[in-house]
């Protein structure tokens, strides 16, 4: 058996890709190791969303170059690979920049990996072509025993002005409904209790298929599967969420009441500069519509602080939006220029690092405040909790609307158990509960 080590940076889609690489290569006599020093093949699965993540990948390659040299002195040969979004973006350039790298493969070349690995015995290669989605029966080495990621589509056609995803993951493509349902059935049969459907824009699911499938139909079909399980999905583009999707979530048994809807800014001019196809009023109407129909629904979001040309007043609009929309939780980031994007070229309008840092801190404080307020709404309520871990004798789980719950009673639970729990008290990031019948 050859040994493989993968360092995965970035989002859930990358983590899911890594699980698929490990699973696929296990059919070709590779086994995963946790110590990079033991590996015959080292791969960094990269993220290009921020410069910091790209730098991290470069630094990994630098360390591995030294490891490769040390191994060579011991008479051993190791191979180094780079995949993911940086690989897709920089292609052959990476072979020039990093002479120790043997293989660069893109986000749409993973299924070719077994044959590519044979080729690198004799030469260095770069494979970053725009292949169609390939279905196979290889196993998937999932890391979490409760929650399974299930990619339903990849790529994006939106070209938000700050985002590299359309350049790294390409245009939108959906897996067939048959392939997604088959994988979901396998996941449930293997005992997983939660399935998270992944896509850059899940509401676009099916648009490139010719069978009339859409995201609402996919959700509806998945909801009908037999077994004790939950379904989550991420992410939703605000104006692509249809009434049909809201209706399916509302009437479903297994689909969690949780929408992740990145807003990015609370100011209309900045949204336009970001090439987002909605304004604050439209975003707010979608939030109200979902809240009006689905009880206990959580709405989470993403925000960028210090987008090029953002004034202090415009930034304050974002703070106001988080408060007024009562968002349950938001991911935040300071704007990081990606040179290939339209915003990355607005160099004369970049906000200085210190101002971005200050704005990010203010944003984080507001998110904290909003999260506490959101949690407080549930004190005294009984919610379904899926137990997913235990630490220092305290069982932990998540509600359907994705709130972290600590069980503060003396009951014994098991990982993967669904219980009803009464929320006794809350903090900013979690809720404390006792079992309810």
The DSSP H or E segment spanning 333 is: strand 329-334
Nearest to residue 398, comparing CAs of 234, 193, 252?
A: 193
Q: In the chain, what are the helix, strand and coil shares in percent, each to the nearest 5?
A: 40, 25, 40
As measured in angstroms, the least distance from the Cβ of 166 to ligand SF4 is: 5
Q: How many residues does the chain have?
A: 437
As measured in angstroms, the least distance from the Cβ of 331 to ligand SF4 is: 12
Helices (H), 294-430: 312-325, 353-376
As measured in angstroms, the least distance from the Cβ of 298 to ligand SF4 is: 20
As measured in angstroms, the least distance from the Cβ of 270 to ligand SF4 is: 14
As measured in angstroms, the least distance from the Cβ of 320 to ligand SF4 is: 22
As measured in angstroms, the least distance from the Cβ of 201 to ligand SF4 is: 5
| Cβ nearer to ligand SF4, comparing 11 with 94 | 11
| Cβ nearer to ligand SF4, comparing 159 with 429 | 159
Cβ-count burial 297-326 (b if 16+ within 10 Å, e if not): bbbbbebbbbbbebeeebbebbbebbeebe
Structure tokens at 44: 């960094």
- 17: Cα within 13 Å, side-chain hemisphere: 32
| Cβ nearer to ligand SF4, comparing 158 with 176 | 158
Q: Which residues contact 324 (CB under 8 A, 6 or more apart)?
A: 284
| Cβ nearer to ligand SF4, comparing 45 with 374 | 45
**Rounded Cα gap, residues 231 and 129, in angstroms:** 32
| Cβ nearer to ligand SF4, comparing 265 with 371 | 265
Nearest to residue 133, comparing CAs of 168, 109, 159, 164?
A: 109
- Helix (H, G, I), strand (E, B), or coil: what is residue 177? helix
Q: Which residues contact 191 (CB under 8 A, 6 or more apart)?
A: 145, 416
As measured in angstroms, the least distance from the Cβ of 222 to ligand SF4 is: 23
As measured in angstroms, the least distance from the Cβ of 165 to ligand SF4 is: 4
As measured in angstroms, the least distance from the Cβ of 130 to ligand SF4 is: 17
| Cβ nearer to ligand SF4, comparing 229 with 237 | 237
| Cβ nearer to ligand SF4, comparing 271 with 367 | 271
As measured in angstroms, the least distance from the Cβ of 225 to ligand SF4 is: 28
Q: Please report, as ranges, the residues that interact with ligand SF4 according to CB under 6 A.
A: 156, 158-160, 163, 165-166, 200-201, 237
| Cβ nearer to ligand SF4, comparing 160 with 195 | 160
**Rounded Cα gap, residues 280 and 295, in angstroms:** 23
The DSSP H or E segment spanning 331 is: strand 329-334
Q: What is the dihedral of CA 124, 126, 131, 133, to 10 degrees?
A: 70
The DSSP H or E segment spanning 25 is: helix 12-26
């Amino acid at each position: 058996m050859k040994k493989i080590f993968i360092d995965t940076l970035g989002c859930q889609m990358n983590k899911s890709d890594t699980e698929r690489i490990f699973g696929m290569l296990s059919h070709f006599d590779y086994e995963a190791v946790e110590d990079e020093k033991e590996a015959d093949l080292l791969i960094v699965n990269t993220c290009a969303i921020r410069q910091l993540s790209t730098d991290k990948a470069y630094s990994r390659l630098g360390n591995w170059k030294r490891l490769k040299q040390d191994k060579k002195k011991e008479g051993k040969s190791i191979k180094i690979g780079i995949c993911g979004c940086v690989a897709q973006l920089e292609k052959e350039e990476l072979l020039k920049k990093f002479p120790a790298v043997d293989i660069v493969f893109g986000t749409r070349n993973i299924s070719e990996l077994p044959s590519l690995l044979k080729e690198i015995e004799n030469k260095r290669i770069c494979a970053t072509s725009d292949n169609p989605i390939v279905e196979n029966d290889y196993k998937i080495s999932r890391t979490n025993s409760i929650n399974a990621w299930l990619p339903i589509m990849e790529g994006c056609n939106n070209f938000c002005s700050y985002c590299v995803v359309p350049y790294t993951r390409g245009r939108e493509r959906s897996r067939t409904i048959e392939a997604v349902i088959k994988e979901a059935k396998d996941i449930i049969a293997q005992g997983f209790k939660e399935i998270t459907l992944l896509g850059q824009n899940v509401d676009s699911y099916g648009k490139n298929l010719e069978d009339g499938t859409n995201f609402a139909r996919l959700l509806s079909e998945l909801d009908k599967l037999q077994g004790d399980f939950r379904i989550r999905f991420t992410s939703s583009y605000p104006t692509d969420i249809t009434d049909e999707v809201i209706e399916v979530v509302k009437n479903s048994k297994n689909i969690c009441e949780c929408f992740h809807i990145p807003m990015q800014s609370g100011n209309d001019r900045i949204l336009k500069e970001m090439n987002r196809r909605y304004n604050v009023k439209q975003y707010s109407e979608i939030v109200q519509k979902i809240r009006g129909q689905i009880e206990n629904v959580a709405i989470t979001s993403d925000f960028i602080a210090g987008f090029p040309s953002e004034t202090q007043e415009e930034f304050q609009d974002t703070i106001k939006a988080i408060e007024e929309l009562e968002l349950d939780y938001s991911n935040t980031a300071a704007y990081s220029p990606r040179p290939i994007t339209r915003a990355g070229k607005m160099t004369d309008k970049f906000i200085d690092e210190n101002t971005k840092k200050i704005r990010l801190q203010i944003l984080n404080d507001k998110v904290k405040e909003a999260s506490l307020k959101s949690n407080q709404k549930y004190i005294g309520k009984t919610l379904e909790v899926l137990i997913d871990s235990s630490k220092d004798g305290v069982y932990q789980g998540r509600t359907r609307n994705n709130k972290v719950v600590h069980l503060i009673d003396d009951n014994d639970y098991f990982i993967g158990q669904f219980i009803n729990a009464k929320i006794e008290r809350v903090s900013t990031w979690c809720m404390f509960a006792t079992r309810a019948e």
